[in-house]
Chains A and B, each alone.
Chain A
Amino acid sequence: MWLKDSQGKKAFRHGHVAFNQASQAAQVCGSFRPDVEEEWVADEERSCYNCRLRRWTAESFVCLSPA
């Protein structure tokens, strides 16, 4: 599910539209924190795509969770 990017950050390996994987990752994440509504892009609330701690990149996102 995750890669280490060039800066050692946790990067989601499935891109911008892997809604199932993003939801699955959030289900097992203890750091999930919903972003403000206008920044949600997934239909399921609990998705990494809707998390305040995801930082979008051109290819995917990196997880800013300290965990």
Chain B
Amino acid sequence: MNVLICIDDTDNLESRGTGELATIMAKEIERRSWGRCDFVTRHQLLIHPDVPYTSHNSSMCFAADLDLANLDAVIAYASDFLRDESAVGSDPGLCVSVIDQLADPEAIIAYGRLAKKEVLNKKMAYDLAAQLDVHLSEHGGTGQGVVGALAGIGLRLSGNDGRMKGWLRIETKNGLASVGDITAQAPLGGVRTMTGELLAATEIVEVDNKPKAVLLDGQIYLMVSPIDNGDGVHWRTTPRSQLKKF
């Protein structure tokens, strides 16, 4: 069964990031043979004076393909892990949602989108989680992280929010690779321009050292922007500074 797991508000200025904790959790789920995990995505939430956050406000989400029999074990492990590994002063929250059993996916997607625009609170999060039969729990501090953890599930489920944690490892020849070579090396939906067109496999792309990918239409895409450097190469991977909107 397909499950989304999201955590929020686990760090402080000195600690490991929430994304690293999500990565560790995903690896441990696989190590224990509970299931297979997918990439981690980062989801930006509202920046507002009434929202408590350390330095940014984002949650981290990953998908897992689990046997139903392992679900309780995964939730117990993730809960203990957050309790033990979250930073002092943080307010960690955990959300686990069985996507195949979600009666009203649009409700959780709408909540996620709302969390990018409005100040939400724990009661709203717990009420919706109970209504949708989604696991939502807090593991220290004020537990405020449940707000973002639930939102992260909705945003990941929307398929149109977030950047992939880390960067793609793409071998190039002198910094260049064809779209066909890129998609052969990375599990991508494709290589896509910032205006939405998919590039053909024969197109050549100038690839940055640490290219980032984003979640669009339910798949991970490498984004490219036009260049005109006079050598017949018309595309380069979109710089990080232009991916902030994702």
Q: Which chain A residues have a beta carbon within 8 Å of chain B's beta carbons?
A: 16-17, 19, 35-43, 52-58, 64
Contact = CB atoms under 8 A, between A and B. Distances in A.
Contacts of A52: 13, 55
B166 interface: yes
Of all A-B residue pairs in the complex, the 4 with the closest CB atoms, nearest first, are A36-B17, A38-B19, A55-B55, A38-B165
Contact of B55 (A19, A38, A42, A56): A56
A17 B243 CA distance: 12
Given A54-B55, A56-B55, A38 B17 contact: yes
B55 A37 contact: no
A42 B240 CA distance: 6
A43 B17 contact: no
A6 B241 CA distance: 29
B239 A43 contact: yes
Contacts of A35: 17, 55-56
19 contacts: A17-B244, A19-B241, A35-B17, A35-B55, A36-B17, A36-B20, A37-B166, A38-B19, A38-B58, A38-B163, A39-B56, A39-B58, A41-B244, A42-B240, A43-B239, A43-B241, A55-B53, A56-B55, A58-B48
A58 B57 CA distance: 11
B56 A43 contact: no
B77 to A, nearest CB: 23
Contacts of A16: 244
Contacts of A64: 13, 55
